[in-house]
Structure 1
Amino acid sequence: MRIIGGARRGLKLADVGEGDAAAHLRPTSDRVREAIFNLLVNGGHGNPVAGARVLDLFAGTGALGLEALSRGAVAVTFVDDGAKALALIRANVAKMKAEGETRVLRQDARRLGANPGAAHDLVFLDPPYGKDLGAAALAAALGGGWLAPGAMVVWEEGAPPAVPEGFALADRRKYGDTIVTLLRAPG
């Protein structure tokens, strides 16, 4: 795994191999990550990455949030409740020397509570596939004030998720066994 583009392009991230089944880690492949960022930047969505405050839910390795930082995001909050994932996120943040622009929270993404800081403009949502966790995490983020009005949500799943009430479908693409759904938060 590596950073695909931006200021830190080519930086090798901590290796998790094919993922860690026990920790439910399934890193977004470099190919899918590149496709997501091409879609965000060049897909007619107004480049929601540049200058964004990013929320990375079910962050896993942190690769999506760190890729956003490399491409011009100003801050990333990583949320995961797994010890292995948190160790990988911290290792990758250190490799990127991004401690000043990141915050790592050990928390269940479905139980975020109130946001103690500024709202986020861009959200990466990559829950374990097929467990119906994404909608609950989005509801918690919206209810807790984590999402800025009109925030862009990038949701990865194994099957197309239902669009939650109040959110608008912006785009949907299939990359291998991954469905990427772009949503706009209410706003």
Structure 2
Amino acid sequence: MPKRQKSLKQGLQGQVRIIGGDWRGRKLPVPFCEGLRPTSDRVRETLFNWLQFDLPGSRCLDAFAGSGALAAESLSRGASQVLLLEKEPRVAKQLRELLTELAGDQAQVLNADTLQYLEQESKEAFDLVFLDPPFTQGLLEPTCRLLEDQGWLAESAKIYLEIEKQAPVQQLPDNWSLLKEKEAGEVRYSLYQRASVNANISAS
């Protein structure tokens, strides 16, 4: 492959635009990486309308960070802290450089396999969690179980799920309630809210 073509292929596949908050209109570079699929502007606009009153001061976890668009949108709209998990080293490195420039120590990017990382008991509970895993790899259900079982979620945490529209119904923790759900193109996206296990026991 000619040097210039190789350089282009290893470079950027495009950009995503922050659609609200302090950084509205800013464009984020998206590295070329097989399977990387940024959440569309249309879906992000709907999601962050759902979350507009939850974001200020919130602690967020972006468990399959990819382009970083969900994390950046959260910080732009007032989230106090965001932890991003990204398995691909080159993508994680770019995210770290980008978000350090934008948000300083409000953003922490870890080059980590999400399931392995979430197997440890959490030292901090998150108010909002974004789950947009690679399609067709069966990652959503085990990720949700680990979030619940290992203490990653605040008592009334909200959890965003994005999955292919044709995927089978997911088996989610019993104490998660569906708040919102929509479809766009080939994607189904949902917002759930967690109730504490103790509250469920008291109500039964």
TM-score range, shorter chain: 0.7 to 0.9
TM-score (norm 2): 0.79
Q: CA deviation at 1:66?
A: 1.1
1:27 equivalenced with 2:24 (yes/no)? no
- Cα distance between partner residues in 2 of 1:139 and 1:173: 23
Amino acid at match of 1:40: L
- After superposition, give the CA deviation of every residue in 1:61-112 in whole Å (9 maximum; x if it has no partner): 211011011011111000121113202321330342x121011122222221
User: Quick one: distance in 2 between partners of 1:28 and 1:88?
Assistant: 18
Task: Tell me the SS of whatever aligns to 2:157.
Answer: strand
Q: What's the C-alpha RMSD, in Å, of the aligned pairs?
A: 1.7
- The aligned counterpart of 1:3 is 18
Counterpart pick for 1:182 among 154, 177, 191: 191
User: Whose helix fraction is larger, Structure 1's or Structure 2's?
Assistant: 2
| Deviation readout 1:140-181 (Å, 9 max, x if unpaired) | 122221110120001111136425022111111112221111
Residues of 2 paired with 1:77 and 1:49: CA distance? Answer: 14
Identity of aligned residues (%): 36
Structure 2 vs 1, CA of residues 84 and 29 (structure 1 numbering), >3 Å: closer, same or farther? farther
Where do 5+ consecutive residues of structure 2 fail to align?
1-15, 197-204
Q: Is the 8 A contact 2:30 2:67 kept in 1?
A: no
* Structure 2 residue corresponding to 1:123, chosen from 129, 133, 143: 129
CA contact (8 A) 1:121 1:148 kept: yes
SS at match of 2:17: coil
**Aligned pairs (5 A) from 1:11-50:** 11-16=26-31, 20-21=33-34, 24-41=35-52, 47-50=53-56
1:68 and 2:74 matched: yes
Deviates more, 1:85-94 or 1:126-135: 85-94
How far off is 1:5 after superposition? 0.5
Residue 13 of structure 1 aligns to a residue whose secondary structure is strand
Q: Which amino acid aligns with 1:20?
A: C
TM-score normalised by structure 1 residue count? 0.86
SS state of the match for residue 124, structure 1?
strand
Q: Work out the number of aligned pairs and report it.
A: 176
1:109 pairs with one of 110, 114, 117: 114
Hey, which bits of structure 1, 4+ residues long, moved more than 3 A?
none
- Asked if structure 2 preserves the Cα contact closer than 8 Å seen for 1:173 and 1:181, the reply is yes
Letter in 1 for 2:111: R
Contact 2:180 2:192 in 1 (8 A): yes
5+ unaligned residues in a row in structure 1: which ranges? 42-46
